[in-house]
A and B are shown apart, each in its own frame.
Chain A
Amino acid sequence: MALRPFFNEMYETGGAVRPHYAAFADWLKNTPPEKIAQNRQAADLMFHRVGITFAVYGETTGAERLIPFDLVPHIIPGETWESVSRGLKQRVAALNAFLYDVYHDMEILKAGKIPADKVLENSQFRKEMVGIDVPGGIYAHVAGIDLVKDADGEYYVLEDNLRTPSGVSYLLENRKMMMRLFPELFSHQRVRPVDHYPDLLLETLRNAAPPGVDNPTIVLMTPGHFNSAYFEHAFLAQQMGIELVEGVDLFVQENTVFMKTTQGPQKVDVIYRRIDDDFIDPLSFRSDSMLGVPGLMKAYRAGRVALANAVGTGIADDKSIYPYVPEMIRFYLGEEPILKNVHTYMLGNKTDLDYVIANMKDLVIKEAQGSGGYGMLVGPTSTKEEREKYKQRVLDQPERFIAQPTLSLSAVPTFVDSGLAPRHIDLRPYVLSGKTVNFVPGGLTRVALREGSLVVNSSQGGGVKDTWVVD
């Protein structure tokens, strides 16, 4: 396949280094390749020793792998970040307003801005949440907004992650690793710090406490150490100094949640849960799951315990709702969206379906409910056979799929076997919503390590880079 034109984050079209990469380019030129190679090895060793690994589903049970870490940072100029961050604030505010609305008065549906059945018949719409007030009206306390840059150099939101977005531990560890390996880089230019993220998160969780609780007991709830993101759960709990609990550690008595401790039961006020809605309470959701806490949903509905994120946020980040986010921004905030959406074809719609089937080679097709890069078709890199197979799946249940034009995704030079070569990236900033909206500058940069690949997910051979916002 012919390489499509893409935006190179480090070099201009003529080959000149972009100003915000100048200091790094100097350093790269003046640092012996042996030292860099040595440090690449050192980084691998350290990640291994520290055990920063993730589990890969579908491989041998308990298999742990390292996420490849690349030494060339993704650098963003400060002023660019200012406008991106305004866009993020705006978008997350609208998404939270939407969540409050669909579980209360449904104004946006009444106004006809979103077809009511798209919301009410969506499996992510949780009837249990209708009419329930959550503290501060905040639903998505932690949001991961996936951004990409197209060939035109403009940022687009690829998707919103409002359920249990993961990856922030890599953001923190990547920075720690860079500062450990190349401290001199950070004296050449001011890189905005990110390591206060756990403090911001803790503050957000405190703000989420039920009214009247002054000094809330906060816990982080994990599905357990076989979960792919377990490292991150343990890491964040440790950084915030809160207990890392599993479902079996909690129980509910008279609508109050307690954890079992060596000093007897202790009341829990806020649960930062990294476990999906379906699994949090076998009495309310999936009865075959033993991961959750029986009675938790009832205590939650009674307002006796807070969950972050709230139950039911999936309705706002569902891919079939995504096309309406710009409309939400206009409807709730009366503003024009700062960050662009990628044009999305809804395959339940006949015109869209016909167009997509005729143009599969140019499009990315995804399941509306999918995540993690599983079960998607990237048209330009697919074979005819793959397209035929995928077409059958789409035609069987078209409403389960969406399609988007293939964005070219910007690229950052990356160490590969043959030396430095551009590889495509995306960026996931983490937006924290409490009394105020907070984030650390930048986000997690994921990089597709295979030449020409646009799939950055770690489960699909993606790596990570440190992300710098520089002044």
Chain B
Amino acid sequence: MLSRTAAMLYWMARYVERAENHARILDVAYRMSLLTKDPNLQDQEWFAPLNITGTLFPFSGRHSLVCAKEVLHFMALDPENPTSIYNCAKQARENARAVRGTITSEMWEVLNSTWIEMQNMDEDRLYARGVSAFFEWVKERSHLFRGVTFGTIRRDDAFQFHRLGTYVERADNTARIIDAKYHILLPSVDDVGGAVDYYQWSAVLRSVSAFESYRKVYRDVITPLRIAELLILRVDIPRSLHFCLHDVYEILCAVQNSSSQEATRLAGEIYAALQFGRVQDIFGQGLHEYLTEFLSDMSRLGAEINTAFFAPTLPPNSVQYAGPPVAA
């Protein structure tokens, strides 16, 4: 498969996954802010989405207040914010358009009609429809896209690079979601059992659709240690780091080429640590430190994938052209 095509499939998948995760993160912030009557605490909930997506700085450059209306607009609809759901839908569709000869027409139609509908969305319509309903819609479009992809595309490299993008993005997002809430996951004895904690913890689980799984796996009260274990180390939770890296490693083995050894090795190393890691050790190291290291490993892995598959170096004796002569 063409390197550029593979890159576009990978990014198409990443943008779809990112849009879904942002919808999840915002939905949790929205629900949490409804749980408290204290307006200061309410607004505090809205820091989390900005922290998770690393957009607090660009946001605060343009807004003086962190509040529901502003954050929602910034992260969902703002064309100026490169990681807004609006822009994710746009980028996913742009990438799909560039590779529409490679994806199935059903996949293209989902992303194209999502983008058409997204363009018609503004703040008034968002509130008229209902904030949570809007996030549901984003998630549903992402589910639909994934389902259509799995149901229609040939199991070739296009499928693999689509999956690769999905799981690299998801691992990154899940790690950020846990990291943003790590302070409430720290096993301090002080307010264990408090109602606020219970809601916080269950919100983290719900944001990655793992609340019901938690109940099934542990059949016990919600504790931070178990949440971390579930979302980091369980291989049977589809949004856990272990699950994502299992698939990333397997995909890199399947698509390997003569310059992808380092990418495969690095993925294997991260995967092995998740496969054999213990949650006690993670907390021993410090959850935040652990996740910071994980995110930095993932960013190295992304760079390795890029050089191995998307931006190959040309043979030294290929014909080069430096560009037109610069006018004096």
* Interface residue ranges, A against B (CB under 8 Å): 48-51, 225, 230, 233-235, 237-238, 243-246, 248-249, 251-254, 258-265, 282-283, 287-288, 290, 294-295, 298
Contact = CB atoms under 8 A, between A and B. Distances in A.
Given A264-B258, A265-B315, A294-B319, A287 B325 contact: yes
B319 A262 contact: no
A262 B100 contact: no
Nearest to A244: B101
Given A260-B312, A298-B319, 15 more contacts: A49-B109, A49-B116, A50-B105, A234-B100, A235-B101, A238-B102, A245-B2, A253-B318, A253-B319, A261-B1, A261-B3, A262-B3, A262-B6, A264-B259, A287-B324
7 contacts: A235-B101, A238-B100, A249-B3, A262-B161, A262-B255, A264-B258, A283-B321
Given A49-B112, A283-B319, A287-B325, A260 B2 contact: yes
Interface string B114-157: 00100000000000000000000000000000000000000001
Interface string B299-328: 000000000010010110111110111000
Contacts of A298: 319
B4 A51 contact: no
Contacts of B109: 49-51
A461 B312 CA distance: 44
Nearest to A254: B317
Given A259-B2, A262-B309, A252 B101 contact: no
Contact of A290 (B116, B317, B323): B323
Contacts of B296: none
Contacts of B157: 262
A13 to B, nearest CB: 45
Give me the 3 closest cross-chain CB pairs, A-B, nearest first. A295-B319, A294-B321, A238-B101
Contacts of A237: 101
B257 A252 contact: no
A449 to B, nearest CB: 24
A51 B319 contact: no
A119 B192 CA distance: 89
Nearest to B112: A51
Given A51-B112, A245-B2, A249-B2, A234 B101 contact: yes
Contact of B318 (A50, A230, A233, A252): A252
A294 B4 contact: no
B108 interface: yes
A283 B109 CA distance: 40
Contacts of A260: 2-4, 312, 314
A362 to B, nearest CB: 45
B234 interface: no
A248 to B, nearest CB: 7
Nearest to B160: A262
A428 to B, nearest CB: 23
Nearest to A225: B98
Interface string B76-116: 00000000000000000010011011100100110011001
Which of B1, B4, B94, B319 counts the most chain A CB atoms within 10 A? Answer: B319
A282 B101 CA distance: 27
A51 B105 CA distance: 10
Which of A234, A254, A287, A295 counts the most chain B CB atoms within 10 A? Answer: A234
B312 A264 contact: yes
A249 B4 contact: yes
Nearest to B109: A49
Interface string B244-279: 000000000001011100000000000000000000
A337 B6 CA distance: 50
Interface in B194-250: none
B108 A262 contact: no
Contacts of B4: 246, 248-249, 260
A225 B105 CA distance: 17
Given A225-B97, A234-B101, A244-B101, A262 B318 contact: no
Interface string B10-48: 000000000000000000000000000000000000000
A51 B101 CA distance: 13
Nearest to B257: A263
A264 B324 CA distance: 28
B253 to A, nearest CB: 14
Nearest to A239: B101
Contacts of B2: 243, 245, 249, 259-262
Which of B5, B309, B321 counts the most chain A CB atoms within 10 A? Answer: B321
Contacts of B108: 50-51
Nearest to A259: B2
A8 B12 CA distance: 49
Contacts of B258: 264
B88 to A, nearest CB: 18
Contacts of B314: 251, 253, 260
Contacts of B100: 51, 234, 238
B113 A49 contact: yes
A251 B318 contact: yes
